[in-house]
Structure 1
Amino acid sequence: MRQFFIALALLGACASAVHAADYQYVSDKLIITLRNGQGNTYQILKTLPTGTRLDVLESNDEGYSRVRTSDGTVGWVRSQYLMDEPTAAMQLDEATRKLNNLQDETEKLRSALSEVQAERAQLATRRDELQAKLEDAETRLDHLSEVAARPIVLDKENRELQQKNVALEKELQILNQENQALKDRAKREWFIAGAGVLLGGLLLGLLIPRIRWRKQSSW
């Protein structure tokens, strides 16, 4: 019996669970009795199986504790059968339950991670598509900018050509005027020359007969 309680003490020292200051638990005894007084002669109110949680109202030096069950029944039990922590079996069940919850949570996290990874892959694909569209749009924009700049350049060149054309027309008019002036001058010069030649011919025609007459007279 002493070894049994030593084993219980070791189990209680190794177990890790939340300590409830206002509650204690029936120890790893199979069944204990809840009586309406402090002693085996008092009436049994209930039998309490291992792991029953009790609200401890008071304890005394005679080794008894006044407790209240979850259904409100108040009675006395031996203090030696009470412990501050749940039994090893209860702790194991609690640990198993937590482990199952953790496993469920882990599965949920893995599922969520898979969904996030799939969504990330989709976003990466979408990003690549948008990047390709952006590059294509930039190429088109550059082309449109070149096309849009051509009319401006052409208009500038056209204006320059028009200005050059006007200047050439002015030069052509000046050249035509100078050419006409040269033609008029040439005509005048030819007219003067012809008149001179004609006048000279007339003078010669008048002088030659006189010269011949003088010579004949001198003979």
Structure 2
Amino acid sequence: MKKLTLLGLVTVLLTLSGQLFAETRYISDKVYVPLRVGDGSKYRIVHRGLPSGTKLELITTNESTGYSKVKTTSGTEGWLPSHYLVEAPVARTRLKEAEAKLSKLSEANKALREQLKNTTQSSEQTASIVEQLERENTALSEELDAIKRISANAIKLDSDNRRLLESNQMLSSEVDVLKTDNARLRENKENEFFLNGAFAVLIGVMIALIVPRMMPKRRSEWG
């Protein structure tokens, strides 16, 4: 009894060890389908076997025999069982397409990550440039305000200077007018003095001529 139990334990241990160290395998889903001249298995094979996933052109289908006539991309025509034909690509083909798409998406994702990284760096550089431009803009605004104040003072000084020049010109014109009036008055006064002198001389001449005639003549003692 003990020997049987020990033998059973050894058997179980061997079974478990076999299960632990056994390698995993899968049945391949790749099937090779031969092409025949006619719609049946008795006809001659024209192609040894098309692998699953092969793209074919369907020409016709014989429902009674369950065979379909197809044409390969290389131009070979033949018959094969209709149940091997499906409308969608097989899993292996779709897996390859999915892997290709996944690879493209991974590359695109990687490119987008690099672009995002560059965009982030560019954004930081742009923010720094914007900040610097804002500082320069503030400095320019302050300088512009100072220039405006200086310009306002300069414009006021220029305006005052213009008013002073206009006043000076007006005063100069008034002085010229006064000089002209003074010269005319002096000339008129000289003319008046001359006329008065001439009139006085004329009166003197007239008196000298008229007065002797108005005086009575004395009689001669000899008369």
Gap change, CA 1:132 and 1:29, over 3 Å in 2: closer
1:48-87 deviation line (CA, Å, top 9, x unaligned): 1121111111111110000000101011001012222222
Question: SS where residue 130 of structure 1 aligns?
Answer: helix
Q: Which amino acid in structure 2 is aligned with residue 50 of structure 1?
A: S
Q: Is residue 2:131 matched to residue 1:149? A: no
**Structure 1 runs, 4 residues or longer, greater than 6 Å off:** 159-163
Q: Which residue of 2 aligns with 1:130?
A: 133
Q: Does 1:56 find its partner at 2:58? A: yes
- Indicate the residue corresponding to 2:175 in structure 1: none
Aligned equivalents of 2:36 and 2:50: distance in 1? 11
1:153 deviates by 2.5
Structure 2 SS opposite 1:139: helix
Does the residue aligned with 1:111 lie in a helix, a strand or coil? helix
- Alignment partner, residue 213 of structure 2: none
Query: CA, structure 1 residues 29+108, in 2 after alignment: closer, same or farther (shift >3 Å)?
Result: closer
In the alignment, the residues of structure 1 paired with residue 110 and residue 88 of structure 2 have an alpha-carbon distance, to the nearest angstrom, of 31
Asked whether the 8 Å contact 2:37–2:79 carries over to 1, the reply is: yes
**How many angstroms apart in 1 are the aligned matches of 2:31 and 2:51?**
6
Q: Deviations over 1:91-130 (max 9, x none)?
A: 2221111111111111111111112222222111111111
Structure number with greater CO (CA < 8 Å, separation at least 6) is 1
Once residues 75 and 35 of structure 1 are traced to their aligned partners in structure 2, the CA distance between those partners, rounded to angstroms, is 5
Say which is worse superposed, 148-157 or 70-79, in terms of deviation: 148-157
The letter of the residue matching 1:36 is: V
Verify the 8 A CA contact 1:32 1:48 in the aligned structure 2: yes
Segments of 5+ residues of structure 1 without an aligned counterpart are: 1-27, 168-219
TM-score under structure 2 normalisation?
0.56
- The answer for the alignment partner of 2:92 in structure 1 is 89
Q: Is the counterpart of residue 43 in structure 1 residue 73 in structure 2? A: no
- SS where residue 152 of structure 1 aligns? helix
Q: Is the 8 A contact 2:71 2:77 kept in 1?
A: yes
Q: Are 1:106 and 2:114 an aligned pair? A: no
- Number of equivalent positions: 140
Could you say what secondary structure the match of 2:42 adopts? coil
Residues 60 and 143 (structure 1), Cα distance of their counterparts in 2 relative to 1, 3 Å cut: same
Unaligned runs of 5+ in 2: 1-28, 172-223
Map residues 1-219 of structure 1 onto 2, 5 A cutoff.
28=29, 30-46=31-47, 47-61=49-63, 62-156=65-159
